[in-house]
Amino acid sequence: MRVTDLGGRPAPESLRQLFARVVRGHGPAIPVQRRQIPYWQERGWTLKGRTYTGSYRTPYGAFYGQITDHRGGHIDFLLYNPSDEIRRHSHWVCFQHRGNDWYMVHMAKQPRDVSSGVLTIERLITEAYEQQ
């Protein structure tokens, strides 16, 4: 007799788990809900009362700002300590100094919501850097 049956022994745990996964296949897909949040919130702004604080985020940096949503639909967009690049932009004259390095961005056409204004100012800041 050239083969002797020495009896069985349990396979290592790692092998058993691997085999179980192969037999079981993939589990059912778990649907992941998409977050439906306003753009301002997605960009990390916070709201207290009627005032939002946060940063206008661009590939060239984040610029601290404050937004006040007045009753009646008027929204004030403020930017703190604009960089030299922003100050050289053709629309710099539309930034009104409000003291202590705060500037209000004058809108010829008011956005209907805060998020659209944040997008517009982020776009303007990006443009200021790309036009250098």
Partner 1 sequence: MKHLSVVVAGSGQIRDVQIQPGTTAGDILHQLNLPDYLLSKGPNEPFFAAAESVYDKVKDGEKIFASTKAEVGARACA
List residues near partner 1 by CB under 8 A.
Answer: 34-39, 41-42, 57-59, 91, 93-94, 105-124, 126
Nearer to partner 1, 42 or 101 (CB): 42
- Measured distance CA(57)–CA(53) in Å, rounded: 13
CB of 96 to partner 1, least distance (A): 9
CB of 34 to partner 1, least distance (A): 6
- Between strands 46-48 and 102-105, the pairing is unpaired
Give residues with Cβ within 8 angstroms of 17, minimum separation 6.
Answer: none
Residue 7 corresponds to which tokens in the numbers above? 């009896």
CA atoms within 13 A of residue 8's CA, in its CB half-sphere: 3
Nearer to partner 1, 22 or 108 (CB): 108
Nearer to partner 1, 54 or 117 (CB): 117
CB of 26 to partner 1, least distance (A): 21
Nearer to partner 1, 41 or 68 (CB): 41
CB of 132 to partner 1, least distance (A): 15
Q: In what order do the strands lie in the sheet with 95-97?
A: 46-48, 51-58, 61-69, 75-80, 102-105, 95-97
